[in-house]
Chains A and B, each alone.
Chain A
Amino acid sequence: MSFTYQAGTPFAGDGLKDITTTIRDGSYTAIIGHTGSGKSTLLQHLNALLKPTAGTVTIGDRVITSETNNKNLKPIRQQVGMVFQFAENQLFEQTVAKDIAFGPENFGVPSAEAEKQAAAMVDLVGLPQAVLEQSPFDLSGGQMRRVAIAGVLAMKPTVLVLDEPTAGLDPAGRNDMMKMFQRLHEKQGMTIVLVTHQMDDVADYADHVLVMDEGHLIKEGTPREIFQSEQWLADHQLGLPKTAAMARDLTKQGFHFDPLPLTTDELADQLAKQIGGGAHD
């Protein structure tokens, strides 16, 4: 699949070039790559906000090509919930409850039911029920972000697409939010597609990684495969997760790690064995 911005003008710029990949149902896919590598452009193809200039995108049983009509895309938009960068910018209603209910109502859920859902969603994203009747503009930035995410989750999507959902949040807020997405993934089997610059999040949560560079898909695999070669990562302006970086430093001190530890637990386990202690718990 390929995509060209402003095709047919002198401003035409390649967005994506010959991308072929599959994001499996129920997977947790991370898309990484430096700024301007085409990550966000790729995301917008996942719910037909952009249509490929060449090739096809298959979402569930719908096939999207450059000729697809703009009408009747609603089922896709409902199925694939999308949380944009700085999602708090999309809030507009007078109360939080109404804003969260806005999505479901657009997909035909009756008002009363949608507002009832809003209450459940506020809970899910970890906000007190009291915010429901507040204006979203009276909340803090982090709370607004949560409301926006609740607004997307209220549409009951089966796939959740996240474009740097934790950018600009404090470490605690970031951690909470990533844990919440993980719960949705584990408990409801939600397919998650995450664009991020946080290699630690990739190592901790993702089971599949796509690496983008200048509109090309340059590597694809499990986090362990991706983080294997530090040199390759550096060449593409990417880094190692903290755990892998620590393992690398320890290797220089004579330690040996196999396989490459990605999570803190894996690192601790392997380390404990080598310094002669019992298994880490």
Chain B
Amino acid sequence: MTKLLLGRYLPGDSWVHKLDPRTKLMASFYYIGIIFLANNWQTYLLMFVATMVMVAASKIKLGFFLRGVRPMIWLILFTVMLQVFFTKGGTTYWSWGWLAITQYGLTNGAFIFMRFVLIIFVSTLLTLTTQPLSLADAVESLLKPLRVLHVPVTELALVLQIALRFVPTLMDQTTKIMNAQRARGVDFGTGNLFQQMKAVVPLLIPLFVDSFGIAEDLATAMDARGYQGGDGRTKFRVLQYHQKDIFAGLVMVVLTVSLVFMRA
């Protein structure tokens, strides 16, 4: 349970932490978008340097970002291998039947690798520096225009917030129930596939029962306090853009312009 990095917030007061969550959310998606503009050494180098500057600005150790890459490493290597073996062109270094390692293949492989790593770094940066609830607030705020189309934005945001709020609770509960069943002689993670699937039943059923209980209690508590979403409900944390956010936006513009000029 302790290895799950996605959605884990590291408290801090760095420049990146203090950015408005809406800025971070939009900038992250935008940045991931413009990574696809890079197509030569210069542009990839630019993006790499930019990412490293952002990582440094967050004052979070590089190790956390590398740990974010670890669970994806096989997928990345598989994709890189496909690129290396199946891209033709340039000098051929090695070939066997229809497999060949060529100059283009190697460069493409390296580019794909960079692209994966940069995307993972940026999304890890977002989740490490932003509290999940702030992210939910940001989503709500950014989706507000859709209210004109009668999209239930507040309710959607509430669902998102509740889901995020209960991730740690359910993880705690999972650990507790796993311990209780291990104490009754269950071995999690051993035996063949069938045995492992069977071992999950004593974990999942109590967890489901518990989740329904939590949901019911929460609904009652919200009713009791007269919860009503939507119009007229004000927020305790009011989101506001500051100079930093404008600066972050400018950085994105500068990066985009540079990429367009430098790409092949």
Contacts and interface: CB of A to CB of B under 8 A. Distances in A.
B181 interface: yes
B182 A102 contact: no
A58 to B, nearest CB: 19
B179 interface: yes
B186 interface: yes
Interface string B174-203: 001101111111110010000000000110
Contact of B181 (A44, A74, A90, A155): A90
A152 B185 contact: no
Given A9-B2, A137-B209, A89 B185 contact: no
A107 interface: yes
Nearest to B209: A137
A261 interface: no
B179 A49 contact: yes
Contacts of A143: none
A102 B184 contact: yes
A174 interface: no
B192 to A, nearest CB: 15
A162 interface: no
B206 interface: yes
Interface stretch (A25-33, A76-84, A120-128, A202-210): A76-84
Contact of B206 (A9, A89, A103, A151): A89
A103 B10 contact: no
Contact of B184 (A10, A44, A151): A151
Nearest to B202: A92
Contacts of B186: 106
Nearest to B8: A11
A49 B182 contact: yes
Interface string A61-105: 000000000010010011001101001011110000000001100
A89 B179 contact: no
A84 B185 contact: no
B190 A152 contact: no
Interface centre among A84, A103, A106 (most CB of B within 10 A): A106
A71 B184 contact: no
B155 interface: no
Contacts of B173: 89
A74 B185 contact: yes
B contact patch SS: helix
Interface string A128-158: 0000000001000000000000011001000
A246 to B, nearest CB: 38
B209 A152 contact: no
A166 interface: no
A31 B37 CA distance: 63
Interface in A1-16: 6, 9-11
Nearest to A87: B180
B210 interface: yes
A91 B209 CA distance: 10
Q: Which of B182, B186, B202 has the most CB of A within 10 A?
A: B182
Nearest to A105: B185
A103 B209 CA distance: 20
Nearest to A102: B184
Contacts of B206: 89-92
A155 B185 contact: yes
Contacts of A44: 179
Given A71-B190, A91-B206, A92-B206, A77 B180 contact: no
A11 B205 CA distance: 30
Nearest to A81: B183
A90 B177 contact: yes
A196 interface: no
Nearest to A161: B183
Nearest to A86: B176
Nearest to A148: B180
A81 B181 CA distance: 11
Contacts of B190: 71
A199 B210 CA distance: 30
Contact of A89 (B180, B183, B187, B201): B180
Contact of B183 (A82, A91, A137): A82
Given A71-B190, A89-B206, A92-B206, A106 B184 contact: yes
A270 interface: no
Contacts of A82: 180, 183
Contacts of B210: 89
Given A10-B10, A89-B210, A84 B184 contact: no
24 contacts: A6-B2, A10-B10, A11-B2, A49-B182, A49-B183, A77-B182, A81-B183, A82-B180, A82-B183, A84-B176, A84-B179, A84-B183, A87-B180, A89-B177, A89-B209, A90-B180, A90-B202, A90-B206, A91-B206, A92-B205, A102-B184, A106-B184, A152-B184, A155-B185
Given A92-B205, A92-B206, A152-B184, 19 more contacts: A6-B2, A10-B10, A49-B183, A77-B184, A82-B180, A84-B176, A84-B179, A87-B180, A90-B181, A91-B206, A92-B201, A92-B202, A102-B202, A106-B184, A106-B185, A107-B185, A137-B209, A151-B184, A152-B183
